[in-house]
Amino acid sequence: MFEKDIRRQCKQIFQNIDILFSEFTEKEFDLIKGGFLVWKQFYHLVHSIDKNFYDPSNYVEPKFHKKNLDIVYLNEDHLSKKQIYDYYIEVKNRVERYLDDIDDNELSKKIEYKEMELSKMELILAQLRHIFYHIGYMHCFLKIERGETPDYIGLYKVKIEK
């Protein structure tokens, strides 16, 4: 019952992230907006989905990741838009495969997360909230830079099969 709702919300999330990637130029990825580098916001967002969406206890960092690369206020390194986008596509595909196989029984299973016991559903909902925070934050970057925000995908545009 809930697995379809989760898939619909995640599809909406990914459509909004896709829009943001298409809106920001490579040059804008290197700008500081709201005190933070734009590329760091994107990397933090994608890394968080990868690390925390379905099983943070068994997470393995991507090969290119360096310690604290996902921390938005530390700026020693640099990733290009293409590097982050390629990573995003891998993460998106993994999450979509995970969601294709999930059912209500699986969503109710408990996992350990930061010394808390959460259901997989709670973990997914927490990630959706975190993701939408960053989507909104990046929309603000564009509003400041251009005076408008990009299209926003809401439920009325999302159709889920299954």
Q: Which residues contact 54 (CB under 8 A, 6 or more apart)?
A: 95, 98, 120, 123, 124
**What's the whole-number average pLDDT of the chain?**
86
Q: What is the pLDDT of residue 2?
A: 80
Instruction: Identify the bridge partners of residue 36 per DSSP, sorted by sequence position.
Output: 33
- Domain locations in the chain? 2-157
Q: Which residues contact 159 (CB under 8 A, 6 or more apart)?
A: none
Cα–Cα distance between 104 and 79 in angstroms, integer?
38
Classify domain 2-157 at the CATH topology level. Four Helix Bundle (Hemerythrin (Met), subunit A) (1.20.120)
What DSSP character marks residue 54?
A: S
More confident residue, 33 or 27: 27
Q: What is the pLDDT of residue 147?
A: 82
Most confident of 61-65, 86-90, 125-129: 86-90
Cα–Cα distance between 152 and 158 in angstroms, integer?
11
Average pLDDT (28-47) is 89
What are the C-alpha distances in Å from 85 to residues 5, 28, 43, 97?
Answer: 26, 14, 9, 18
Kindly report each contact of residues 117-120 with a partner whose C-beta sits within 8 Å and lies 24 or more positions away, as own/partner. 120/54
pTM, to two decimals: 0.88
CA 128 to chain centre: 8
Contact call for residues 113 and 61 (beta carbons, < 8 A)? no
Q: Express each pLDDT in 101-113 by its tens digit.
A: 888 898 999 988 7
